[in-house]
Amino acid sequence: MQANITGEGTVSSRIDPALIPQRTLYTGARMPAIGLGTFGSDHVNACQIAEAVEAAAQFGYRHFDCASVYGNEAEIGGALSEVIASGVKREELWVTSKVWNDKHAPEDVIASCEKSLADLRLSYLDLYLVHWPFPNFHPPGCDVTTRSKDSKPYIHADYMKTWAAMEELIKRGMVRHIGTSNMTIPKLKLVLEDAKIRPAVNEMELHPHFQQPELFAFVRANGMEPIGYSPLGSPHRPERDRTPEDTSPTEDPAILRISRRHGINPAVVCIKWAVQRGQTPIPFSANPRNIFSNLLGVTGDPLTDGEMREIGALDRNCRLIKGQVFLWKERQEWEDLWDLNGEITPA
């Protein structure tokens, strides 16, 4: 397959995967410090994303962030089997998937993982995440006002039943690591107290306008790796995930200034900052040039300490993925999902 996905011409360069920075997890396993996101934001279809995965692997990516709810794991599985057939060993790849919110019942966790493995054509996953801590179904593509009549808040005892099933996946050899996503410090504290197998990562929104310094520090201090989603501020996210207050890190004057200084795209400044700060960004792209530039950005020519400080000062606490559909009762604000006062928001 050609790396020509968008008709903008092929990109034939390749980066040696050995040059890509790695994160060492508490198990000693090494995870590439940049991955390719695979959520098409409702406008890039499954086949285009499978092509992006294959192109990315040719460029040197070895880390892929997947999820059952993205609706494209079967197509990505086809791409991954091509990648492996081309000579990349399975153990060189880092493949993540996630259990969706309507599959939190322990038997559903196991079945959902089995389905992701079958779709991805793999015998194990490197990482399996609980996608959101709320067991609420809402239809794909629904708008922010949609509420499920069965919506529930975070109930720790229920989450731990889900987590026990996640632990069982490790015991069965179906996954190598388990982790959390969209969590808060108070929720993570409880999970860390009660887990038999601790989360290896927490996947969270992270970009220059939403740096989450307390959660970022907490995650690292507790032996987890922060994986940063929407590292570019998700410029093409669906309409339902936009509000008038949202800001765009790739349009920030300081990011633009730094990008001009280095002769790179502002998006690549965000990626460099993320990797140098210590998180693992998982930028999505279906454009081979962007896929390649993002990877090239993490090898060589680092940002200076002064530039890192300058970007560190850009935080606007601007959460873009607010999760409104997870609210569990009437007249709630999305902030309730994120335990802003340091306690789990009461039911």
Ligand X SMILES: NC(=O)c1ccc[n+]([C@@H]2O[C@H](COP(=O)([O-])OP(=O)(O)OC[C@H]3O[C@@H](n4cnc5c(N)ncnc54)[C@H](OP(=O)(O)O)[C@@H]3O)[C@@H](O)[C@H]2O)c1
The reply to whether 229 belongs to the active site is no
User: Within 10 A of 134 (CB to CB), how many other CB atoms are there?
Assistant: 22
Q: Residue from 231, 258, 274, 345 that binds ligand X (CB under 6 A)?
A: 231
Residue 324 as a binder of ligand X (CB under 6 A): the answer is no
Q: Residue from 88, 192, 308, 321 that binds ligand X (CB under 6 A)?
A: 321
Q: Distance between CA 249 and CA 321 in Å, rounded?
A: 14
- Residue nearest to ligand X as judged by C-beta position: 37
Q: Residue from 210, 229, 273, 328 that binds ligand X (CB under 6 A)?
A: 229
Residue 283 as a binder of ligand X (CB under 6 A): the answer is yes
Residue 209 as a binder of ligand X (CB under 6 A): the answer is no
Residue 153 as a binder of ligand X (CB under 6 A): the answer is no
The alpha-helical segments, DSSP class H, found in the chain are 46-59, 73-85, 106-120, 156-171, 185-194, 213-221, 253-262, 266-277, 288-297, 305-312
Q: How far is CA 49 from CA 5, 34, 119, 239, 286, in A?
A: 9, 17, 14, 20, 6
Burial degree of 123 (CB within 10 A; 0-12, 13-18, 19+): exposed
Residue 242 as a binder of ligand X (CB under 6 A): the answer is no
Q: Residue from 236, 242, 257, 329 that binds ligand X (CB under 6 A)?
A: 236
Q: Residue from 116, 162, 180, 265 that binds ligand X (CB under 6 A)?
A: 265
The alpha-helical segments, DSSP class H, found in 172-238 are 185-194, 213-221
Segment contacting ligand X (CB under 6 A): 150-158, 213-221, 227-235, 272-280? 227-235
Least distance CB 69 / ligand X (angstroms): 9
Residue 31 as a binder of ligand X (CB under 6 A): the answer is no
Q: Are 286 and 26 in contact (CB under 8 A)?
A: no
Amino acid 1 reads M
Least distance CB 108 / ligand X (angstroms): 18
As beta bridge partners, residue 178 has 128
Q: Measured from the CB atom, is 136 or 230 closer to ligand X?
A: 230
Q: How far is CA 291 from CA 34, 129, 160, 218, in A?
A: 11, 24, 37, 30
Catalytic residue among 70, 128, 159, 229: 70
Residue 259 as a binder of ligand X (CB under 6 A): the answer is no
The set of catalytic residues is 70
For binding to ligand X (CB under 6 A), which residues are involved? 37-39, 41, 65, 131, 181-182, 203, 229-237, 265, 267-268, 282-287, 290, 293-294, 321
